[in-house]
Amino acid sequence: MTLGECRTWLIKGIRSESPKADADALLCFVLGCTRTELITESSRALTDAETERLESCAERRNNGEPIAYITGTRGFWDFEVEVNSSTLIPRPETEFLVETALGLFRGGTFLDLGTGTGAILIAIARERPSAKAFGTDVVSEAVRLARRNCDANRVRADIREGSWYEPVSDMKFDLIVSNPPYIDPDDHHLEEGDVRFEPRTALVSGHSGLDDLRHIIGAAPRHLNSAGHLAVEHGWNQGFAVRKLMGDAGFTDVRSVRDYGGHERVTYGTMPDSRAGTAE
């Protein structure tokens, strides 16, 4: 079978919302080639070993497994991260969190809570090379994964194992970011699509998905320098609740940012500047 024939066969055989993109991703992964080469090399004959690997990948996809877990990588911002089932696959909407953080933060120290693959931390660290990056995650396998991703993307960071602020209990930062679990345990989306394969610990939080956000926001003032910032990702219908939590915690200039779908997805705030009014 030629590459071109195999591509047509895969596109027909893959049962997902995006058979063409999925077929191309699997072909590039198995054949170790670029998307352009899928077209320019379409008459090249595939070996039996290549065809068998492609068949088994297509079967995994048809069982619902996310493409990123099959290929082991996902693009985020302007780089790639290794992914595995210990943590969430980075989402395009999380780039809004990175953009928001970059708008608030020119340099200094920052902390990414529940860093997972390390995608958010790596994006900020690459854009702010003079900043000192810290990350925490309660899942040891995720900590190892984040460290590997930092190394692969030549980012220096201090990634520590433990729950939220626990591993940095005595430290303060200029920026704290987090994409915590925020889905309600009863949300039916958890039974659909790629999300079924991701760990619940990275997705679900109690009390309408707000428990972890409440903890992160409530404890943030103790870990932020004067005029420091907090930016968090949250569910499409949690903007109001998150703004209220930030206001109650003493944050000022609290605002939400909408995602591609027009939903409030990221909320940020700033701690009062203790030097304000004392200058001159």
- Residue 119: CB minimum distance to ligand GLN, A: 12
> Which one, 91 or 144, has the nearer CB to ligand GLN?
91
Number of residues that bind ligand GLN (CB under 6 A): 9
Least CB distance from residue 116 to ligand GLN, whole Å?
Answer: 9
Smallest CA-to-CA distance from 89 within 216, 206, 203 is with 203
Least Å distance, CB 226 to ligand GLN, is: 29
CB 231 within 8 A of CB 242: no
Name which of 135 and 180 has its Cβ closer to ligand GLN.
Answer: 180
Q: Residue 186: how many CB atoms within 10 A of its CB?
A: 9
Q: Is 179 in the site for ligand GLN (CB under 6 A)?
A: yes
CB of 130 to ligand GLN, least distance (A): 28
Distance, in Å, from the CA atom of 106 to the CA atom of 174, rounded to the nearest integer, reads 10
* Contact status: 181 vs ligand GLN (CB under 6 A): yes
Q: Choose among 191, 32, 12: nearest CA to 22.
A: 12
Exactly one of 81, 113, 142, 203 binds ligand GLN (CB under 6 A); which one?
Answer: 203
Distance in angstroms (rounded) separating the CA atoms of residues 18 and 26: 12
Report 87-146 residues binding ligand GLN (CB under 6 A).
88, 91
From 77, 96, 182, 251, residue interacting with ligand GLN (rule: CB under 6 A): 182
Q: Cβ of residue 192: shortest distance to ligand GLN, in angstroms?
A: 10
Measure CA 276 to chain center: 35
Q: Which of 11, 183, 219, 254 binds ligand GLN (CB under 6 A)?
A: 183
* Residue 27 to residue 51: CA distance in whole angstroms: 10
Tell me which stretch binds ligand GLN (CB under 6 A): 27-35, 105-113, 155-163, 174-182.
Answer: 174-182
Q: Which residue has the tokens 């999925």?
A: 22
Determine the interface stretch with ligand GLN among 6-14, 23-31, 58-66, 179-187 (rule: CB under 6 A): 179-187
DSSP per position, 107-173: SSEEEEET-TTSHHHHHHHHHSTTSEEEEEES-HHHHHHHHHHHHHTT--EEEEESSTTGGGTT--E
To the nearest whole angstrom, how small is the minimum distance from the Cβ of residue 183 to ligand GLN? 5
Nearer to ligand GLN, 87 or 149 (CB): 87
**Which stretch of DSSP H or E encloses residue 179?**
none
Identify whether the C-beta of residue 234 lies closer than 8 Å to the C-beta of residue 279. Answer: no
> What is the token pair recorded at 8?
């047509």
Beta strands in 150-263 (DSSP E): 157-161, 173-178, 224-233, 252-258
Query: For ligand GLN, which is the closer residue by CB, 173 or 182?
Result: 182
In contact, 106 and 83? CB cutoff 8 Å: no
Contact stretch for ligand GLN (CB under 6 A) within 13-21, 53-61, 129-137, 176-184: 176-184
Q: Is 270 in the site for ligand GLN (CB under 6 A)?
A: no
- Name the site residues for ligand GLN (rule: CB under 6 A): 88, 91, 179-183, 195, 203
